[in-house]
Amino acid sequence: MGMTRVFIHGLESSSRGTKGLFFRERYPDMIIEDFGGPLEERMKKLNGLLERKKDLVLVGSSFGGLMAAIYACENESRIRKVILLAPALHVPDFSRYLDRRVKIPALLVHGKNDDVVPPAVVKAIAERVFENLEYRLVDDDHSLHVSFPLMNWKALL
């Protein structure tokens, strides 16, 4: 079995949001589910979905980026790569992972005009946790609607 691609949407979004539809159209085998409720409930669903899967490539947007980062910290051996789009790593829920050193490749893309998730704070956290981090600060806002479709997804996924 080859790699498993997963997209995790943000807090106010769904599997039918802009990014979810983008991936669904281009990667029909990608796991794109709806997550609702508090973080604990969302993580429980994610853990269930990915229970027997390995060689994972996780793409998480905003709150979904937080979920992908937590999953990576807890299941590093089953992950090939994590792609974090303006991830909400600054929330207290992630603080228990600040002493982790995750070695898998991680790409973090953040808009310099993000007024929801602070880029500088998140960059510092990501650099502390992810040893193999590629950081891209782009001319965009929190949604990354300009940058997102222009990313080289074929190469990334």
Q: Which residues contact 114 (CB under 8 A, 6 or more apart)?
A: 86, 140, 141, 142
CATH numbers and ranges of domains, the chain: 4-156 (3.40.50.1820)
- Mean pLDDT, rounded, for 41-46: 98
pTM score: 0.97
- Place 36 in a pLDDT band, splitting at 50, 70 and 90: very high
The token pair at 25 is 């159209």
| pLDDT tens digits for range 116-153 | 999 999 999 999 999 999 999 999 999 999 999 999 99
| pLDDT tens digits for range 45-86 | 999 999 999 999 999 999 999 999 999 999 999 999 999 999
Whole-number pLDDT of residue 1:
56
| pLDDT tens digits for range 20-30 | 999 999 999 99
| DSSP at 145 | T
Question: Could you give the angle at the alpha carbon of 154 between the alpha carbons of 153 and 155, nearest 5°?
Answer: 90
Collapse the DSSP code of 105 into the 3-class scheme (helix H, G, I; strand E, B; otherwise coil) and give the result: strand
